[in-house]
Amino acid sequence: MEHVSFLPLSRFAVCGGTHGNEMSGVYMVREMQRQKADRTGSVSVTSVLSNPPAVDACRRYMETDLNRCFTDALLSGPTTDDTPYELRRARELNAQLGPKGSREAVDLLCDIHNTTANMAVCLIFYSFDWIAIHIYKYIQSKMTSAPVRALCLNEPPSEAYSLESVGKHGIAIEVGPQPTGVVRGDIFNMVKEAVDLTIEWLQKFNSGSTFEGGEVEAYTPVGSVDYPRDPTTGEITAAIHPQLQDNDFKVLRPGDPVFQLFSGETVKHEGDDLYPLFVNECAYYEKKVAFKLTKKITVTLPSVGVKKD
C-alpha cells in the first residue's frame, strides 16, 4: 500500500467567529485564549477570533462574507478606501497565518463553523488532502458522542475562498444543529472533542507514528435544491417537509416528501437516490437554497508518517 511522508506539523491554528453569529468557535477560541493554551507537546497552537466586529454585532459579517475572501486574486488585490472590512481582515489573517501557499504558512488551520442543520460533526475539505482526511478518519474512530462525516469539495487551492485554505493543510469543522447567536453545551462539547483529537493526532504524527491507509467514506456535492417560490415576489412558499427536516445525510429516494407548501400540499423528490446536506440552513446573507444534494464517495487513503531529515 502507498505511503506518503510529510514534514512535521508543528504549527496549528484554530479559528472561530469567521461568521460572527456562529458561537461555538467564538467561545472555543476565547476559552483557549483564557487558558493560554498555546502549546501542547510538539504542537504550538494559535487561536484566533477571525471577525471581532461581526462577533460583537452577532452578525454573519459586517460588509461581505469573510469566508469568501481567501482566493489568491482577492488576497493579492490593492487595498483602497473602498475595500470592505472583511477583505482587509482577510489580508491581515493571511499575513498572520499564511501567506497562503508559502513555506511560512501554519501547518494546519482549523476553522470552526456552526449550522442550524442537523449535521452533527462534518469536516469539510477543499481538496483530497491526505493529512486532513487522516485527521477525519482519526476523529471518526475516536468520537462517540456524535456521528462524524466528511464533505469533499475538491477545488484548486488558488480558487479556494475560505479561511482554512491559508494553512498548508486546512479543515473546516461544521457542527450543528445550533441556532445563530446561541451556544449549546452539547455542540460546544463536540467541537472541543474534535479540536482535542486533532491536537492528539498531530502529536502522534510528529512523534513518529505511522497512520495506516485504507478506505474512508465521504460526501461530494452534485447540486442544490431551491425552495418553491412565488413567481412574482420570489418569496418562498413552502417549508422543508417535517419528514426531511433534521435528516441530513439520510438517503433521499424518489417519491420521498421534500417540501410542505404553506397551503398544505406536499412536494416529493424526483431523480436519483442522493444525500441532502445543510437542510433548511439559516443562510440569509447568501443565496439561500433549501439544501445541497451530495453523493457518497469512497476515498482510498495512503498511509502517512513524518518525513525524517
Contact region for a second copy (CB under 8 A) — 22-30, 83-91, 101-109, 198-206?
Answer: 22-30
The residue range among 98-106, 133-141, 178-186, 213-221 that interacts with a second copy, by the rule CB under 8 A, is 178-186
Query: Is there binding between residue 91 and a second copy (CB under 8 A)?
Result: no
181 near a second copy (CB under 8 A): yes
* Among the residue ranges 46-54, 159-167, 206-214, 260-268, the one whose residues contact a second copy (CB under 8 A): 260-268
Nine-digit cell string for 49: 477570533
In the window 219-248, what residues touch a second copy (CB under 8 A)? Answer: 230, 235-236, 239-242, 245
Q: Give the cell for residue 168.
A: 498548508
Binding status of residue 47 toward a second copy by CB under 8 A: no
- Give yes or no for residue 185 binding a second copy (CB under 8 A): yes
Helix 185-206 with 23-34: angle, nearest 10 deg: 60
- List the beta bridge partners of residue 219: 151, 296
Distances in Å between the Cα of 84 and the Cα atoms of 73, 96, 295 are 15, 19, 36
Contact 26, 52 (CB under 8 A): no
Among 192, 32, 170, which Cα is nearest to 97's?
170
Which of 211, 260, 274, 278 lies at the binding interface for a second copy (CB under 8 A)? 260
Asked if 91 and 79 touch (Cβ cutoff 8 Å), the reply is yes
- Nearest distance, CB of residue 183 and a second copy, angstroms: 5
Given 96, 141, 262, 295, the residue binding a second copy (CB under 8 A):
262
Pairing relationship of beta strands 303-306 and 3-6 according to DSSP bridges: parallel
Terminal CA-to-CA distance of the chain, rounded, Å? 23
| By CB under 8 A, residue 121 contacts a second copy | no
Q: How far apart are CA 86 and CA 48, in angstroms?
A: 15
- If one asks whether residue 58 binds a second copy (CB under 8 A), the answer comes out as yes
The cell for 229 is 417560490
Binding to a second copy by residue 265, rule CB under 8 A? Answer: no
Query: Residues 277, 123, 117, 153: is their CA dihedral positive or negative?
Result: negative
Single residue of 18, 51, 71, 116 touching a second copy by CB under 8 A: 116
Span interacting with a second copy, options 157-165, 181-189, 198-206, 293-301, rule CB under 8 A: 181-189
Whether residue 172 contacts residue 146, with contact meaning beta carbons closer than 8 Å, is answered with no
One-letter identity of residue 29: V
C-alpha cell at 218: 465521504
Interface residue with a second copy among 49, 74, 143, 183 (CB under 8 A) is: 183
Q: How many residues bind a second copy (CB under 8 A)?
A: 35
Beta carbon of residue 54, minimum distance to a second copy (angstroms, whole number): 12
Q: Which of residues 235 and 270 has its CB atom nearest to a second copy in the complex? A: 235
Cβ distance to a second copy smaller for residue 98 or 176: 176
Question: Torsion angle of alpha carbons 53, 278, 162, 294, nearest 10°?
Answer: 180
Where does this chain bind a second copy (CB under 8 A)? Answer: 27-28, 30-31, 34-35, 58, 116, 177-186, 188-189, 230, 235-236, 239-242, 245, 260, 262-263, 280-282, 284
